[in-house]
Structures are given as structure tokens and as C-alpha cells.
Structure 1
Amino acid sequence: MEFFSTANKSLIKDINTATILQIVRTKGPISRAEISKLTGLNPATVSSNVGSLIENGLVRETGIGASSGGRKPMMIELNPDAYYVIGVDMGTTDVSTGITDLEGRIQHKVTLPFGDRTEPEEILGVIRQSIRDVMAASGLETDRFIGIGMGIHGLVDPDRGISLYAPAFQWEDVPIAEPFSREFGLPVTIDNDARAMALGEKWFGKAAEVGNFVFLNIGTGIGSGIYVNGELIRGAHFGAGEIGHIRVQDTGERCFCGIVGCLSTLASGPAIERQARHDASAGLAPHLLQLAGGEPGRITGELIHQAALQADAYAIRLLDEAGRHIGSALSVIVNLLNPEMVLIGGGVSNGGDFLFDGLKEEAALRSMANNIKKTYIGPAGLGDDCGMIGAAALILRSVFRNPNQYNS
């Protein structure tokens, strides 16, 4: 009986401490009295738990606050420099790795290309090097790091730390978390890259106050992270959110998934570039070809956007068509889930209004009016760093769920 009593007390303390830390993170600077009022915990419990958080460095006293009639209170805030997290954003062509503080702010980052590598050990070797590079650049001691979060391309089993299927590299069932944890001596948590990005927006971006939203990652591939009632959805077999494989037309290139007309084959970064290069070679995009120095192979997404900004009709039409394909697929999600917000990130989102105007119009045309009229659709808040910040958040959420594990 004593064991269960002790275990219950320990659990309650963990819950109380986590609750207080979340309040400090989201509301700080804040007084102990305000924490007591917001949580319903008695002042003695709040003081005891705040004392523990101060002792392990997660929060700090920041000075005297304004009086509401009695003695002026001591204010408490998160100590963002107490620990650091490594966030790894694995794409299909490169890896971006950053170090964040406890507030998700990137302190150092590095991007390394994969080149023509496709084998698991080759790709994971580049990722290992990126982690070594960014840790060395930070100058921080190893004990200042509390974990490595990794957003991984493709289907991922976060519970076992395994890449189930990475379509760009055609590999299956590759262990990632355990080997990286063993090598770096740190906890490692992995998830699909788009879900990690959605988590980043929930913790540190535009979706902080939103319970139902969809994050679309539109880059070298197209995927999404879905929040329903405040919970990140993975699906029964970790395949939730594969919006890139919604069929949006009956003809076109066959996708690696076996379907013709997938959104990814029409509106991903590589798909848009392929179309532009083909049309430039056929003489259909003269201004774009001129910007590329007469070499269709040098046409990139950035160059297409530049041409659109210069009022090139072809580039404007190409980005508009891509946006409409995305809007068509998005309408399926809007009608099915009725989200409050749709955030769009990844390189293609840099197309701006040339992309978003057609996207919003097509989504509205194909969605129930009641479902779309109050849905915000726009660019994500964290920009190009969203993948790294979201990956770091995979570790940060465990800190805030159980801060007592970091007692010094």
C-alpha cells in the first residue's frame, strides 16, 4: 500500500509541476499568486513546485511585479537557456539541423545536401555529420543538450523510432532513433516531417491557440500534419495526412505510389520545375528561359517566382495552376475535417499570392460554404525554419510534460 501511495504522490507532483511550467511558458512573466489562481493549486503547492523548477534551472525569478494592493510579487518566467535541443529536418534533397532553446528559437543551424546518395547509411551519415557540425558550432557542452528531435521524410513509426518507408530513397523499415541515441548519448524522438512541422506551429507559430488545424508541407513532396481537438493525428498505421496522394486529375505522370494524377506530381516543387523546364524547351516560356541564361535545366522555383514578380504571364499561370491543384485536394480535407485553420509551408509556399489566390478560390469552389467561410488559409508562421523548430518540439513537449526528469 505504501508503494501505491508514494507512486500516486509522485504522479501528482509531476502533473502539478508540468501544469505550472506550461503556465509559466505561455503566460510568463507571472507571479506565484497568479499561477495559483489559474491552476486552482494552493499557494504552498505552487511555491514548492516553483522552487523545484528554479532549482533545476527551468524557470527563474525575473524581478518585482506591480502590486494589486498588497506586497509587490516576485515574477517568474521560463529560463530559455537552461537547456538546448537539436532539431533535424530531413528532406528529400538535404538535411537542415538546428539548435533551439526552450522557446524554440534557433541559435545555430546548418544545411547539408544529400547529393546522389540514396542508401540508408549514406543518408543517415550526412544527418550525423550535420548534428556534429551544429553541435561544434554552438560551442556548448554536451550536458546542455537534452535530446534530438527528427522530422523524417515518408512514413514513420514514432513509437519504435523507425522509418517505415522513405519514398524518395525507396527504403523500408530503417531504425533511426536507437542508433542516433546510442551514438550521441541523448534521447531521440522521430516523426514524419509534416507532423513535426504541425507540432512546431502549435507550440511556437500561428496555431498556438487553435485546436483544429491542418499544416501542409509543400516542397519536394507534399504532406500534411493534422490536429483534431488539440491532438496530432497519426493514423492507425502512421499514414495520416498523405494529402500529396489525393488524385486531382485523371491524366499525367504516374506517381511512385502507383497512382496517376496525384497532387505531388502536379504541385510539388520538382513537379513545377519539371513543367517549366519542359515548356521552356518547347519555346513556351521565353522570359523564364532568358532568366535561366538560355538553359532550361537551370530553371528553379525561385526563378519562376522571380519571373512572376516581373509580370511574366507564363510564370503567373504556372503558379496559379499549382495553387488550384492544391486547393482542389485541400477541399477534401476541409469538407472532411472542417479545420479552423490551414497553414501552408515548404518551398512552394514562397510563391505568395501567385499561388495562394488560385488555391483559396479553388478550395472555396469545391468546399461546403459552411466549412470554408470561417477557415483561415495562409502561410505558416515559422517560415523556412519550421521543420527544425518542429523537430525540436518533439523533444520539448516531453520536457514540459515531465519537467521533474530534469532535476539536477
Structure 2
Amino acid sequence: MTILPSFPIASPKKLIYTHIARQGVTSKAELMPLSGMTSSSLTRLLEEMVADKLLITGYGPSSGGRRPILYEVNADYGYFFGLDISRRTSTLGFFDAKMNSKALLRWRMDEAMTPEALIDYVVLNIRSIMLDHHIQPHQVVGIGIGAVGPLDRKTGVIIEPSNFPARGWNQVPICKLLEERTGIASRLGNGADAALIGEHWSMRSENLQHMLYVHAGVGLRSAMMSGGHIVHGSVDMEGAVGQMIIQMDGPRLHDHGNYGAWEALASVQALEKRARAVAKTGRADIPGAGQVPPERLTYDVLLQGLHSGNAYAREIFTQSAVCFGIGLANLINVLHPESIVLGGPLINSHELYFQTAIDTAKRNIYYYPDYVPSFSKGKLQEDAVAVGSAMMVWSNMVV
């Protein structure tokens, strides 16, 4: 089993396999309109796929004649790892050919989690998972990686992402490093794309074609799908959306980037920066005031304050959510998706944040209420990048 390059031309076998995977269980009669084949040709193809162990068969209920043969994907045909590399937490998932989760491991990204430390940790756990499930390396089709950009998907290199807690996250040939240590082919994509691929798969029964995904965490990241396919630009800069200007005379997050940028008003960093500045004035009702120095006031302390009912924490989270909703409305007015999935630490911080953000976005959608896209946190949520990363490999698998 090998991995195809980007944008493969699907063979009839691949189309049939993908359709069966998405449907779950399918009969030959349901496959006929899709295949464009004669009945005898389709029968031969399905028999070949069963012989190759791509598919397994069963029988449906009789409607008066013979019971129809039903086809479904063989879950044990191949296995897939999905790796999510993010700034706050990272995740390693292990999946079968039906994208059933067999194992899932999540860990905190801290100052010690350099690229070398992460590779060691991931390789150790890949070996442990394979041992636990009695899987040999040749049974693993590949490792999909969804990472913070910018990155080079063709060469498998994480270029120079900002704001990682640990040092060394620049020009990291992540695919090469994993392949050398595991012997398993690896494929790199940006995390927002992977999350959208995963959520789209989890919602496949809804047949959604135009989707927008936005991740709100340390920074802001986005991905768009049109016609059921991820839309790529000429460069892989998923975080550039955070530089959208939503307030002309607004603050600047660091010594680079735009003044009044979206992420300067609605991100984990923006919350911390604002709270630290106010704490230095001596305001006493800020979460953690008097317990930690202002420069050590972290998002986790603010989040704890929000959940304990602290008025100041509620105020700054609400203001952040309003700013997030304004930027979100700008994207919606340009892209017009039918479904919007929101993820990341801020979206999942509290229902207040999610609801305030989408209420603000709705008020600023130009064609509202004639055009009302759906909003959700998705079905996979924290696991979306790991699932989508594995899906990147699954969808490019030669069958």
C-alpha cells in the first residue's frame, strides 16, 4: 500500500471504495448509477475488491427474491496514524480503515516539547500502540500530520510557526524525521485544513459542500471547503487570517503584524496581554491578582476566573467574543459557506464565548436573515485535527 501525491485522479475502483466508505453499507443496486459500468463489469470489480480484502460482504433483508449482497469497507485492510501538532496541546490518534478510533493520546505542549522531544514521544507511543494492537509496520498505510503553519506540504517541512512554548520550531522536516524513525510514510498538511476534513467526514450524512472552519486559540487559523474539497492558496499560511484588520486604530499584538488585527483582539494572547496590562495598574478584581505577578497572569488563570463567576473575566471574554464574531462575519460575507465549524480553546472555553461570537456574526451577516448558515462546534471538536490528518492519508491511499 502506497500514498498518492496531491490531487489524484480517482479510478472507478477508488470512487466505489470511497462511496461505500461514506455510506457505511451499500448494495450493488445503489452503486450502479455511480459506477457508470455495466452490471457484469461492476460485479467483477466488486468481486475483485472483496478478493483483495478491501471490502467485506453481508446480506440485506429479502424483498421477495434473493437477499441482496451488501458491501462495506474492511476495517482491517489498513491502519492510519493522525498527528495534531498545535501550540497548547498535541494529539496522536490511531484509526482503522473505517476511521474508527483505536487509540487517542493528548499531551500539553510546554517549554520542554522541542521538535526532538516531540518526535521521541510520538515514536515511542506509535510503537506502543502498534504493540498493544498487534499491528506490524507494513499494515500501517501512513502517518498524517496536521500542524500549525506556515509549512511546505510538498517537502513535509514546518517552516517557522510563531508562539510555540518550546524553542526550535523552525525549518522542521517533520515527515522525514518520522519516516526515518518509524519506516512509515508521512504526509503533512496544515491543522485547520485537517480539522475541516475531519469534521466534514463526521458530518458526511449531511452532504455539506461549502464549509468554513475557524480555530481560535493562541492565534487564529482558518480553512475553507468548496464543492466538498479544501481550497488552497498559493502559500500555506493558515494563520494569516488573524491579520484581518477589524479596528483601524486598534492594538498590535507583538512588534509585528497589523494594528487592529483580528488576533490582536480575539485570541488567547490578546486576552493575556490585556489582562496583564490592567493588572499592572493595581486593579484588584482580576483573577490571580495578588497571587501571581502581572507578567505571569495566564489564560488558564483567566479561564478559571470565568468559570468561577469573576466579573472581570466575564467582561474580557465577552469583549473578545464580540471581536471574534465581527471577524467571523467578514469571512462569511466573502465566502458564503453553508456550514461554519468553530474550534479551539476560546470557542470551548465557555458557552458564553461561543454564543456571543455567533450572535455577533449573525448581526453582521449582510444578507441575514435571508442567508443563515449553520454554526456548530463540530462533532469531533478536540479530535478533529487528528482524525482529519489520518483522513488525508486515507483519501490518498491507492486501492
Alignment TM class, shorter chain as reference? 0.7 to 0.9
The verdict on how the C-alpha distance between 1:372 and 1:252 changes in structure 2, with shifts beyond 3 A counting, is farther
Cα RMSD (Å): 3.1
Q: Do residues 33 (structure 1) and 32 (structure 2) align? A: no
The verdict on how the C-alpha distance between 1:132 and 1:167 changes in structure 2, with shifts beyond 3 A counting, is farther
Q: Greater shift after overlay, 88-97 or 332-341?
A: 88-97
The verdict on how the C-alpha distance between 1:304 and 1:137 changes in structure 2, with shifts beyond 3 A counting, is farther
Which segments of 5 or more consecutive residues in structure 2 lack a partner in the other structure?
1-7
Q: Is the 8 A contact 2:209 2:228 kept in 1?
A: yes
Q: Greater shift after overlay, 92-101 or 364-373?
A: 364-373
- Name the structure 2 match of 1:3: none
Instruction: Describe the SS at the equivalent of 2:346.
Output: helix
Q: Is the 8 A contact 1:200 1:386 kept in 2?
A: yes
Q: Is the 8 A contact 2:288 2:301 kept in 1?
A: no
- Name the structure 2 match of 1:17: 13
- Name the structure 1 match of 2:92: 97
Q: Do residues 268 (structure 1) and 264 (structure 2) align? A: no
Q: Greater shift after overlay, 273-282 or 36-45?
A: 273-282
Q: Do residues 87 (structure 1) and 85 (structure 2) align? A: no
- Name the structure 1 match of 2:140: 145
CA distance, structure 1, for counterparts of residue 367 and residue 284 of structure 2: 37
Identity level (%): 24
Instruction: Describe the SS at the equivalent of 1:350.
Output: coil
The verdict on how the C-alpha distance between 1:313 and 1:393 changes in structure 2, with shifts beyond 3 A counting, is same
Q: Do residues 255 (structure 1) and 251 (structure 2) align? A: no
Amino acid at match of 1:68: S
Instruction: Describe the SS at the equivalent of 2:212.
Output: strand
Q: Is the 8 A contact 2:141 2:184 kept in 1?
A: yes
The Cα of 1:102 is off from its aligned counterpart by 2.2
Cα deviation code 1:152-174 (max 9, x no counterpart): 11112212222233223575443
Cα deviation code 1:96-138 (max 9, x no counterpart): 1111122323211223444324765455444444544544454
Q: Greater shift after overlay, 355-364 or 317-326?
A: 355-364
Q: Is the 8 A contact 1:226 1:241 kept in 2?
A: no
- 4+ aligned runs moved over 6 Å, structure 1: 296-299
Number of aligned residue pairs: 387
Q: Is the 8 A contact 2:223 2:231 kept in 1?
A: yes
Q: Is the 8 A contact 1:96 1:130 kept in 2?
A: no
CA distance, structure 2, for counterparts of residue 214 and residue 32 of structure 1: 34
Q: Is the 8 A contact 1:225 1:241 kept in 2?
A: no
Q: Greater shift after overlay, 390-399 or 31-40?
A: 31-40
Q: Is the 8 A contact 2:333 2:366 kept in 1?
A: yes
Q: Greater shift after overlay, 374-383 or 102-111?
A: 102-111
* 1:102-141 aligned within 5 A: 102-117=97-112, 120-141=115-136
**Structure with greater helix share of residues:** 1
Instruction: Describe the SS at the equivalent of 2:179.
Output: helix
Q: Is the 8 A contact 2:348 2:354 kept in 1?
A: no
Q: Greater shift after overlay, 204-213 or 329-338?
A: 204-213
- Name the structure 2 match of 1:46: 42
Q: Is the 8 A contact 2:253 2:263 kept in 1?
A: no
CA distance, structure 1, for counterparts of residue 209 and residue 71 of structure 2: 27
Q: Is the 8 A contact 1:216 1:225 kept in 2?
A: yes
The Cα of 1:216 is off from its aligned counterpart by 0.8
Q: Which of 152, 161, 168 is the matching residue for 1:166?
A: 161
The Cα of 1:241 is off from its aligned counterpart by 6.2
CA distance, structure 2, for counterparts of residue 280 and residue 36 of structure 1: 67
Q: Is the 8 A contact 1:200 1:390 kept in 2?
A: yes
Cα deviation code 1:67-114 (max 9, x no counterpart): 234211122112223321010000124431111122323211223444
Q: Is the 8 A contact 1:234 1:240 kept in 2?
A: no
Larger RCO, structures 1/2 (Cα 8 Å, 6+ apart) = 2
- Name the structure 2 match of 1:8: none
CA distance, structure 2, for counterparts of residue 206 and residue 310 of structure 1: 38
- Name the structure 2 match of 1:6: none
Q: Greater shift after overlay, 207-216 or 227-236?
A: 207-216
* 1:335-374 aligned within 5 A: 335-370=333-368, 373-374=371-372
- Name the structure 1 match of 2:382: 384
CA distance, structure 2, for counterparts of residue 303 and residue 205 of structure 1: 35
Q: Is the 8 A contact 1:205 1:382 kept in 2?
A: no
CA distance, structure 2, for counterparts of residue 100 and residue 336 of structure 1: 36
* 1:156-195 aligned within 5 A: 156-168=151-163, 171-195=169-193
The Cα of 1:313 is off from its aligned counterpart by 2.8
CA distance, structure 2, for counterparts of residue 387 and residue 132 of structure 1: 21
Q: Is the 8 A contact 2:84 2:146 kept in 1?
A: yes
Q: Greater shift after overlay, 270-279 or 375-384?
A: 270-279
Q: TM-score, normalised by structure 2?
A: 0.85
The verdict on how the C-alpha distance between 1:87 and 1:38 changes in structure 2, with shifts beyond 3 A counting, is same
- Name the structure 2 match of 1:328: 326
The Cα of 1:224 is off from its aligned counterpart by 0.7
- Name the structure 2 match of 1:67: 62
Instruction: Describe the SS at the equivalent of 1:177.
Output: helix
Instruction: Describe the SS at the equivalent of 1:286.
Output: coil
The Cα of 1:206 is off from its aligned counterpart by 7.0
Q: Greater shift after overlay, 141-150 or 52-61?
A: 52-61
Cα deviation code 1:297-351 (max 9, x no counterpart): 8866566455445544323222211111111111221111111111101122113
Instruction: Describe the SS at the equivalent of 1:348.
Output: coil
Q: Greater shift after overlay, 120-129 or 22-31?
A: 120-129
The Cα of 1:284 is off from its aligned counterpart by 4.6
CA distance, structure 1, for counterparts of residue 255 and residue 130 of structure 2: 36
Amino acid at match of 1:266: L
The Cα of 1:207 is off from its aligned counterpart by 8.7
Q: Greater shift after overlay, 105-114 or 126-135?
A: 126-135
CA distance, structure 1, for counterparts of residue 110 and residue 264 of structure 2: 21
